[in-house]
Amino acid sequence: MTLLISVLAFVLLLTLLIIIHELGHFFAARFFGVEVEEFGFGLPPKAKTLFRSGLTEFTLNWVPFGGFVRLKGENEINTEKRFDPGSFASAGFTARILILCGGVFMNFMLAFLLLTLGFSVGRWVPNFYQSIEEMQEASMRGEIVLETGVYISDVMPGGPAEKAGVIKESAIQSVDGILVHKPDDVVALQKGKSRVTYVLMEGEEKKIRSVDVSLDNGKSGIAISPFAAKLSAPLRSVPTAVTLAYKETVFMTYQTVHGIINLFSTLATKGHVPEGITGIVGIAVLTYSSVQEGFMTYLRLVALLSLSLAILNILPLPALDGGRLLFVLVEMVIRRPLNQRFELAVNAAGFFLLIGLILIITFNDVIHLF
């Protein structure tokens, strides 16, 4: 049953994000008087016409993912027909720019609204904190609820702790039976003593182990630092949630752009997909995991992917909104239309390159599954 729900959630996720994106183009085109000839649910071939509204035919298509809008004259080679009244090319530069950015805007807004909902009702913990110090400051502001612990980042070779069997990258829960939450607690409890008992939490399994350690001038020979032992969030006001949503959007945008640059640079220099980059198969796996963790976790995945889709689409690459936007900006500079055959050829080449990139990333996803 969980698998079936995950499959449905995966299909719904992709379809929702793309339909929201296409609605942005649709509403912007209608606003500026550009005729939308078809709004398709799913991808061609067409299965049936659902209904007509004004000049727009709403269709159901056989490939059950996403959707599309077909604007009047956007792929027309004949110059006269391309500039017919109500066509995309006949609209002004500002109108065309806003129509092309409409989908990206809708995906950004969906991500922002979901993040606002999550940070208020869902009590999500933001991802943009870069250090334990930032978390502690956020905790003091009431943005999160933080309980710190003591992390052993290194063990001195030949020191008392190493001789007692203490390993690095473990956490100290208590010293002589007293719970510790920050490095100063450990220092204070060891002061003036020749021997202490650590209760340690080790490894991914969080195995609990007690260790007796001799001290040399109150020191056991370990490097310790604070870490986030427990992290949660309070119920926040809407203004606070909006502020956090804005910061999270900026952070996620930076991370996504950095990931895309890393993808292209790693493919070009090393010939493989870098760690952390995932495609359709990886998204399906993430969807399965998020469904198991609960609805709010699933919504956070939707927000992340909506933002990623917006950023990917605005990149100045052929076949994407950003590539088409680049052609419009070039036209605006040179003050004359570009050759439509050239534009269609570039977009077609970009489309096949994009499909190739998707196949490479998907292959990488499959390899990681096994």
Same domain, 115 and 242: yes
Region of 96 (left: φ > 0; alpha: ψ -120 to 50; beta: rest) is: alpha
Alpha helices in the chain (DSSP H): 2-31, 79-82, 93-120, 132-141, 160-164, 183-190, 238-270, 280-293, 295-314, 321-334, 340-369
Average pLDDT (289-306) is 84
The long-range contacts involving 54-61, CB below 8 angstroms and separated by at least 24 positions, are: 55/86, 56/26
| CATH code of the domain covering residue 200 | 2.30.42.10
Answer whether residue 9 is part of any domain.
yes
Same domain, 9 and 96: yes
Percent of the chain scored above 70 by pLDDT? 94
Query: pLDDT digit string (tens) for 59-88?
Result: 999 987 778 999 998 877 777 778 888 999
Answer whether residue 174 is part of any domain.
yes
- Distances in Å between the alpha carbon of 32 and those of 82, 98, 106? 17, 9, 17
- Distances in Å between the alpha carbon of 114 and those of 68, 85, 122? 23, 38, 10
Same domain, 242 and 360: yes
Same domain, 154 and 92: no
Same domain, 254 and 344: yes
Query: pLDDT digit string (tens) for 85-104?
Result: 899 988 999 999 999 999 99
As a whole number, the mean pLDDT across the chain is 87
Answer whether residue 109 is part of any domain.
yes
Same domain, 211 and 343: no
* Interstrand relation of 170-175 and 145-155 (parallel, antiparallel or unpaired): antiparallel
Contact 306, 329 (CB under 8 A): no
For the whole model, what pTM was predicted?
A: 0.83
Of 207, 232, 257, the residue that ends a domain is 232
| Ordered DSSP codes for 297-333 | HHHHHHHHHHHHHHHHHHSS-TTSHHHHHHHHHHHHH
Of 197, 232, 267, the residue that ends a domain is 232
d(CA 175, CA 190): 8
Total domains present in the chain: 2
Q: Two tokens at 193?
A: 């003593």
Same domain, 154 and 105: no
Answer whether residue 153 is part of any domain.
yes
Query: pLDDT digit string (tens) for 264-291?
Result: 888 778 877 777 666 666 676 677 677 7
Answer whether residue 140 is part of any domain.
no
pLDDT at 250 exceeding the cut of 60: yes
Any idea which residue has 């007796």 for tokens? 212
Q: What angle do CA 94, 98, 103 make, to 5 degrees?
A: 165
Query: pLDDT digit string (tens) for 149-170?
Result: 999 999 999 999 999 999 989 9
| AA letter at 57 | E
Expressed as residue numbers, the domain containing 163 is 145-232
Same domain, 172 and 257: no
Q: How many CA atoms lie within 13 A of 348 on its CB side?
A: 7
Average pLDDT (299-319) is 89
Query: pLDDT digit string (tens) for 102-135?
Result: 999 999 999 999 999 999 998 999 999 988 999 9
Query: pLDDT digit string (tens) for 171-180?
Result: 999 999 999 9
Same domain, 184 and 276: no
Average pLDDT (313-325) is 87
Of 208, 232, 256, the residue that ends a domain is 232
Answer whether residue 40 is part of any domain.
no
Answer whether residue 139 is part of any domain.
no
> Per mean pLDDT, which range of 32-41, 48-57, 64-73, 180-189 is the poorest?
64-73
Same domain, 212 and 269: no
Same domain, 7 and 109: yes
Answer whether residue 30 is part of any domain.
yes
pLDDT of amino acid 282:
67
Query: pLDDT digit string (tens) for 178-227?
Result: 999 999 999 999 998 999 999 999 888 889 999 999 998 889 999 999 99
Same domain, 240 and 346: yes
Q: Considering just the CA atoms, what is the radius of gyration of the chain in Å?
A: 27
pLDDT of amino acid 31:
95
pLDDT at 343 exceeding the cut of 90: no
